[in-house]
């Protein structure tokens, strides 16, 4: 149901103040875009009145301590309105107007769409439809932080997300709307700028405010439809919906504001064809004349959050135990354990040592085994349901507030969230991903469930780390390495059980590998084996490592020595170790349960790209898979032990 507010009458002096702020914001939105000869001035003008009220009377933020957990948070989901965004910080005194002159320049942090280079950016939002998901994550994170405070605070910190009406066509927005209601995020406030015009056409609903309201309310939100250029309505609505303690209705809130694109300049207002177009000099002068006199020295004193007790606050959450126990997992060589289960066990074992860890799962926790973490730390586990894009967006928000989010789902389904993953880098986020059920080795579930693109996808992410353990010990050790590693880290886990082959004391540093040579006792059982036989290097990881080890023994019977490399760190790759093997053999064979494009084979090829004397042969999934037994499928795709042996025999002939 629609949330109702008591009538409130603004004083004329307040309205004049808002007008002056809005004129400042409009002036610089126009000027910055024209000076840069690019930008989105009309998208900025439509929300100027909303933001004028917001910055003066609603926002609580300490610009000297941007990580203060009691600060409100502002996310511009419509990131193309960056002229308005930066102008807002200028009128707040956090930027000088001189800084605005460098908008979109190579040497400036004021980029065309905000990124983490601008210190007050919560998240990069140039790709539309992601801001509300990030807001969900930040709202959850703020609740986790605040509930650990041992004192009452006057103003509960809120997360405000400015959305554009065009991005409401994105499914991720509705995923976020649904989850915010489920978690009763009353500290989340959306401000929907309904300016009717998209980039090339009017938006789907135009100014049909009733339909926007009905749809958003059906997702469990409180709403208010307002005139986005009426300062009294804006002020009344924002002040009331921002007061979480007064409301107490445990629902997120959406302000649905009817606005006009290009508002404030008559020849731009509600006119199509101006999206992303700066004004030429003559029209800029004309626009300035319409705005009238602007106080270019205007500054607003933004309200600061309460500081009571903040000096005793431990970020991001209090550690109850000064010397927490690290319940290190122990496995016996020869045990049979799926790496997906070892992942869940390791994550749970690290939860006390690292209270910053939070776990998110896309409703497959009993398959990814993140349910083990949930059982032990229910307050730090978040079921995100079958909405992977929103899961990743929320993880960005949690990361920005200092938590270490682990996102788990089937490897195949993470492809849905690739845009959110790539954008998280531009937000400076540090997120850990675990993709289970990778490759054809999952068997009977069939090709729709087989993650075969995941290594390529995560290798392509700037600055990412990609790991692929083969047994329970390497998995457990690498989960802690994930915690310690900044940025985007992806672990590929497998559905089938695999034999534990490593001792619990083994180390698995990021960027390393493990080398398996046949022991002398093994060699002696093959009567025709001599150390002068042919030599070959097999590089693999995960389930196919065990196929490579089987092939190693078979090849020894043919007087072929195979050195097997467990490439558990796919990125960064162990260049030093791999290049050392060139002195022993110039033939390398890679084996992987992944498409031939972008996986282990290509990673190894990159190592030897400048060495024409080295031959690299790739064995990978090359046929469209089907349902069947894991062994059948691996043989069908040519990545089984027998397939490896046959391939090497042909190579050496």
* Residues involved in catalysis: 388
Spatial separation of the C-alpha atoms in residues 4 and 533, rounded to whole Å: 85
Q: Is the dihedral of CA 314, 318, 323, 327 positive or negative?
A: negative
Question: Pick from 130, 186, 187: which is nearest to 159 by CA?
Answer: 187
Spatial separation of the C-alpha atoms in residues 290 and 260, rounded to whole Å: 16
For residue 92 the two structure tokens come to 């707040």
Per DSSP, 512 falls in state -
**Which residues face 589 on adjacent strands?**
538, 617
Backbone angles phi, psi at 620, to 5 degrees: -155, 175
Beta-carbon count within 10 A of 157 CB:
23
Backbone angles phi, psi at 54, to 5 degrees: -60, -50
| Residue that the structure tokens 């991005």 belong to | 167
Q: Is the dihedral of CA 79, 85, 89, 92 positive or negative?
A: negative
Cβ contacts of residue 590 below 8 Å, gap of 6+?
A: 538, 539, 540, 600, 601, 604, 616, 617, 618, 619, 620
Spatial separation of the C-alpha atoms in residues 353 and 239, rounded to whole Å: 41
Helix (H) or strand (E) holding 619, with range, is: strand 615-621
Helices (H) and strands (E) counted in the chain, each on its own, are 24, 19
**323 SS3 class:** coil
Question: Pick from 545, 523, 537: which is nearest to 639 by CA?
Answer: 545
| Residue that the structure tokens 């840069």 belong to | 36
Residue 24 to residues 91, 102, 232, 299, 504: CA-CA distances in angstroms? 8, 17, 19, 10, 63
Strand order in the sheet with 489-492: 381-383, 357-361, 404-410, 432-436, 489-492, 465-467, 569-571
Residues present in the chain in total: 653
Spatial separation of the C-alpha atoms in residues 246 and 243, rounded to whole Å: 6
SS3 content of the chain, % helix, strand, coil (to 5): 40, 15, 45
- Note whether 222 and 252 are within 8 A (CB): yes
């Amino acid at each position: 149901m629609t949330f109702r507010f008591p009538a409130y009458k603004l004083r004329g002096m307040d309205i004049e103040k808002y007008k002056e702020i809005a004129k400042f914001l409009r002036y610089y939105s126009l000027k910055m875009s024209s000076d840069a000869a690019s930008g989105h001035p009309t998208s900025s003008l439509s929300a100027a009145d909303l933001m004028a009220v917001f910055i003066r009377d609603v926002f609580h933020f300490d610009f000297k301590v941007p990580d203060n957990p009691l600060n409100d948070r502002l996310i511009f989901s419509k990131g193309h309105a960056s002229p308005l965004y930066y102008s807002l910080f200028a009128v707040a005194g956090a930027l000088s107007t001189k800084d605005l002159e460098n908008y979109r320049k190579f040497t400036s942090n004021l980029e065309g769409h905000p990124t983490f280079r601008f210190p007050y950016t919560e998240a990069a939002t140039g790709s539309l439809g992601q801001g509300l998901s990030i807001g969900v994550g930040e709202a959850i994170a703020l609740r986790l932080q605040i509930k650990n405070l041992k004192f009452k605070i006057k103003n509960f910190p809120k997360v405000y997300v400015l959305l554009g009406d065009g991005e409401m066509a994105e499914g991720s927005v509705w995923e976020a709307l649904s989850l915010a209601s489920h978690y009763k995020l009353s500290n989340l406030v959306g401000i929907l700028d309904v300016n009717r015009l998209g980039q090339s056409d009017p938006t789907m609903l135009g100014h049909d405010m009733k339909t926007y309201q009905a749809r958003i309310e059906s997702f469990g939100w409180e709403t208010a439809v307002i005139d986005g250029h009426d300062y009294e309505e804006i002020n009344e609505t924002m002040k009331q919906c921002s007061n979480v303690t007064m409301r107490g209705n445990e629902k997120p809130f959406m302000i649905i504001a009817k606005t006009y694109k290009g508002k404030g300049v008559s020849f731009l207002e509600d006119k199509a064809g101006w999206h992303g177009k700066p004004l030429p000099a003559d029209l800029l002068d004309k626009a300035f004349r319409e705005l009238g006199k602007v106080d270019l020295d205007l500054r607003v004193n933004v309200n600061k959050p309460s500081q009571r007790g903040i000096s005793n606050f431990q970020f991001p959450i209090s550690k109850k135990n000064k010397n927490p126990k690290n319940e290190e997992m122990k496995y016996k060589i020869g045990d049979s354990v799926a790496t997906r289960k070892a992942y869940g066990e390791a994550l749970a074992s690290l939860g006390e040592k690292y209270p910053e860890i939070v776990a998110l799962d896309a409703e497959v926790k009993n398959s990814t085994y993140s349910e083990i973490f949930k059982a032990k730390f229910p307050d730090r586990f978040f079921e995100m349901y079958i909405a992977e894009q929103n899961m990743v967006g929320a993880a960005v928000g949690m990361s920005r507030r200092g938590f270490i989010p682990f996102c788990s789902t089937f490897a195949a389904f993470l492809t849905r969230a690739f845009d959110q993953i790539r954008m998280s880098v531009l937000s400076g986020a540090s997120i850990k991903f675990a993709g289970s059920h990778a490759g054809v080795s999952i068997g009977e579930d069939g090709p729709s469930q087989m993650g075969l693109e995941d290594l390529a996808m995560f290798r392509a992410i700037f600055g990412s780390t990609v790991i692929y353990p083969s047994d329970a010990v390497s998995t457990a050790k690498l989960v802690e390495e994930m915690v310690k590693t900044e940025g985007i880290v992806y672990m590929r886990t497998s559905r089938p059980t695999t034999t534990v082959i490593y001792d619990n004391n083994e180390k698995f540093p990021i960027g390393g590998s493990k080398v398996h040579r046949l022991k002398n006792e093994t060699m002696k059982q093959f009567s025709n084996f001599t150390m002068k036989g042919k030599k070959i290097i097999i590089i693999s990881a995960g389930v196919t490592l065990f196929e490579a080890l089987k092939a190693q023994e078979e090849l020894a019977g043919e007087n072929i020595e195979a050195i097997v490399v467990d490439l558990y760190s796919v990125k960064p790759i162990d260049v030093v170790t791999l290049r050392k093997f060139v002195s022993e053999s110039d033939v390398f064979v890679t084996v992987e349960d992944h498409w031939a494009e972008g996986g282990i084979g290509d990673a190894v090829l990159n190592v030897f790209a400048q060495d024409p004397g080295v031959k690299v042969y790739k064995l990978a999934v090359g046929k469209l898979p089907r349902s069947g037994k894991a062994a059948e499928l691996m043989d069908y795709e040519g990545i089984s032990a027998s397939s490896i042996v046959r391939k090497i025999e042909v190579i050496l002939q």
